[in-house]
Amino acid sequence: MDWSLTASLLAERDTRPIVVMDRRGRIELANGAFTSLLGRPREELLGRRWTDVCTPREHGREVGQALRAIFTSAETRLETEVLTRDGERLSVELDVAAVGRPPLRLVAIVTRASPPLSVPERTVVPEPARDPHRDLSYEISTELSSFGTLKAVWTSGEARQEEMVGQPCFGAFAHRDAPCLDCPLTVAAPASWPNTIVRQAAEHAEGYEVVTATPTGAGTARVSVHTIRDETLSGLFEAKVRRMAHAARLSEREGDVLRYLALGRSPADISTVLGITERTVKFHQSNLLRKLGAETRYDLLRLFF
C-alpha cells in the first residue's frame, strides 16, 4: 500500500488542519485545511522544515527541541505560534504524535487556532474603493505640467466613479506624491507601443500586476492594469512544467523532479517531498537536464523562465 497516498487521502477528508513531518521536521504532507489556515500553497511548505516556514524565528529553537522530544514520548499537546503568508501570527494548539514503523513520522493536528495577534491601533486614511482583483484602466494626461492627471477611469470595462477624475493616478492608486518609478510611460523609451511592465501587486492584493501603457493622442495615454492572482500563477507554472516535460519526453518521475527544481528546491528537499533517496533525485536530475539540453540546474532555470 502506498503510505503517502493513503495518508494524503485521509488528511484531505479531515476538516482539521493536519501536517505530517519526518524526523528532521521537514513537512511531507499538508492538507487543504492547513494551507488555508496559513494562506500558503503546498509548494511553499513541502520539503521545508516546520521551524523554517511556520515558526517565528525567535521561537525556532524551542519549537524544534519540542518536536524532536516527541519521538521519545507519547502524544503531546503543544501550544505555539505559526506565521501566515502575510506575516500575521496565529496562536495554535497542536496535538502531535510520532506514528508508524521506523522511520517514524510526526503527525500534527491543529485543534485550536486563535485570530491573528492584535497590533496597536493606527489612524487609517480613507482610500478610494478598489477591488484588487478587478481589471483597471484609465486615461491620463502626459503633459509635463499635469502628468498623471486622471481624465477617465474604468474597472472591468465599466465606467468608474467620477470623483477620481482630476486626481493624479500615482496618488489615487499608489498613494505616492510623485509618478511611480516603474511607470511604463516614463521608463526607457520602448521600441514600440504599447509598453508593458510587470510588478508585484499592491499591499492589499496578492500576485502581480501587468501594466500596459499606450499613447492615445497628443498629451494623453491609456493605462491598463491586470492583476494575476497567485492561484493563476500556480496554474501557469504547472502548465509550463507539463509542456516542457512533454516536449522533452520526460518520465513522470523526471517531471516531478523538474517541478521542484524549477521552484529552487535542493535535492535533499525533493527527496523528502517525493519519498525517494537523494541519490535517486540526482539521477533523475541528470537525465532531465540532458533531455532538456541544459548542463546545470541553473541553465534549467534560464530555460524555464
Report which of 125, 134, 180 is spatially closest to residue 153, judged by C-alpha positions: 134
Sequence spans of domains, the chain? 3-114, 136-229, 249-304
Q: Are 93 and 110 in contact (CB under 8 A)?
A: yes
Q: Are 215 and 186 in contact (CB under 8 A)?
A: no
CATH topology of domain 3-114: Beta-Lactamase (3.30.450)
Q: Are 266 and 276 in contact (CB under 8 A)?
A: no
pLDDT single digits (tens) 15-46: 888 898 888 889 988 888 888 888 888 888 88
User: All 3 cell numbers of residue 162?
Assistant: 467620477
What does the CA dihedral 245, 249, 252, 255 come to, rounded to 10 degrees? -30
H helical segments located in 74-222: 169-174
Q: Are 183 and 172 in contact (CB under 8 A)?
A: no
pLDDT single digits (tens) 40-58: 888 888 888 999 989 988 8
- DSSP annotation string for 194-245: SEEEEEEPPTTS-SEEEEEEEEEETTEEEEEEEEE-HHHHHHHHHHHHHHHH
Share of the chain above pLDDT 90, in %: 17
Rg (CA), the chain: 24
CATH 1.10.10.10 applies to domain 249-304: yes
pLDDT (0 to 100) of residue 120: 42
More confident call, 232 vs 170: 170
Q: Are 267 and 281 in contact (CB under 8 A)?
A: yes
pLDDT single digits (tens) 150-194: 998 887 656 566 778 899 999 888 888 888 888 888 876 666 788
